[in-house]
């Protein structure tokens, strides 16, 4: 049976990659919904927190705690949270197209047609998808098209749309 893990902003976690190395991630926001990063470089077989480079982000996004709960992702420490893009998102409400804040709680203004075409909806992705994308990046598995929105470059581009 799984166990509830109390995650905190800054928690560093590890998990087994298909090639035997350890993938690393960080909890950027534990609440109101889990927002994580996956770090570019895996660890060989053990992790020295002093050598973890939290600003070398490959993937990021919202997810759930299922792999923590089922003891497949393990919190190994806590480090300061780096600057990570938190773009606005699009939402449709009462037949109107809106821009909302990062958390999807506040409607900021109506979206232009161009913004509507380019911005993402407020979404959450299963944690195993991040793990599969990291494995694929490191040569284990296929790089699926649905991994594209998980890459940090996509999040940076989305954030740039929000400030334009």
Q: How far apart are CA 114 and CA 12, in angstroms?
A: 37
Beta bridge partners of 22: 16, 43
Spatial distance between the Cα atoms of 61 and 43, rounded to a whole number of angstroms: 21
CA distance 57 to 39: 5
| Coil, strand or helix at 153 | helix
Global pTM value: 0.92
Which residues have C-beta within 8 Å of that of residue 96, sequence separation ≥ 6?
Answer: 110
For the chain, 164 residues long, give each residue's pLDDT as a single digit of tens: 567 789 999 999 999 999 999 999 999 999 988 999 999 999 988 888 989 999 999 999 999 999 988 889 999 999 999 999 999 999 998 899 999 999 888 899 999 999 999 999 999 999 999 999 999 999 999 999 999 999 999 999 999 988 76
Residue ranges per domain, the chain?
11-84+126-150
Structure tokens at 119: 């911005």
């Amino acid at each position: 049976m799984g166990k509830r893990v109390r995650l905190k902003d800054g928690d560093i976690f590890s998990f087994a990659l298909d090639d035997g190395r350890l993938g690393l991630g960080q909890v950027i926001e534990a609440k109101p919904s889990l927002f994580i990063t996956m770090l570019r470089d895996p660890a060989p077989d053990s992790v020295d927190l002093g050598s973890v480079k939290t600003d070398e982000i490959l993937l990021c996004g919202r997810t759930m705690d299922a792999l923590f709960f089922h003891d497949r992702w393990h919190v190994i420490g806590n480090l300061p949270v780096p600057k990570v893009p938190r773009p606005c998102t699009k939402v449709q409400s009462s037949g109107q197209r809106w821009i909302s804040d990062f958390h999807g709680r506040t409607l900021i203004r109506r979206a232009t047609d161009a913004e509507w075409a380019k911005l993402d909806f407020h979404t959450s992705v299963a944690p195993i998808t991040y793990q599969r994308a990291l494995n694929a990046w490191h040569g284990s598995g296929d790089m699926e098209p649905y991994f594209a929105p998980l890459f940090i470059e996509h999040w940076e581009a989305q954030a740039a749309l929000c400030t334009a």
